[in-house]
Amino acid sequence: MITFEKLWLLMKQRGISTYQLREKCRIDSKTIRRLRANDNIETKTLNKLCTALSCRLEDIAEYIPDKKDKKP
């Protein structure tokens, strides 16, 4: 599973609200909800986020294996 917990932490550290993110990146509220739910996001959205936040992908997203994907 891809999680965006790092995005919210980075935004908090930098004092950026979701409103500012929507305005700066032109990301709609539906996409913000998808990010909060760790749903599928288009790569162009990830690009917008990295550009607006001056960061790398690994600064806002992280892969965490599902329990069923882990080998015993």
pLDDT tens digits, residue range 2-61? 999 999 999 999 999 999 988 888 899 999 999 999 999 999 999 999 999 999 999 999
Contact 10, 53 (CB under 8 A): yes
50 belongs to a structural domain: yes
Q: How far apart are CA 72 and CA 66, in angstroms?
A: 13
Domain that holds residue 17: 2-64
71 belongs to a structural domain: no
Contact 59, 6 (CB under 8 A): yes
Structurally, the chain folds into a number of domains equal to 1
- Assign residue 54 a region: left if phi > 0, alpha if psi is -120 to 50, beta otherwise? left
Query: Taking the model in full, what pTM does it have?
Result: 0.86
72 belongs to a structural domain: no
9 belongs to a structural domain: yes
Q: How far apart are CA 7 and CA 52, in angstroms?
A: 12
Domain harbouring 50, CATH code: 1.10.260.40
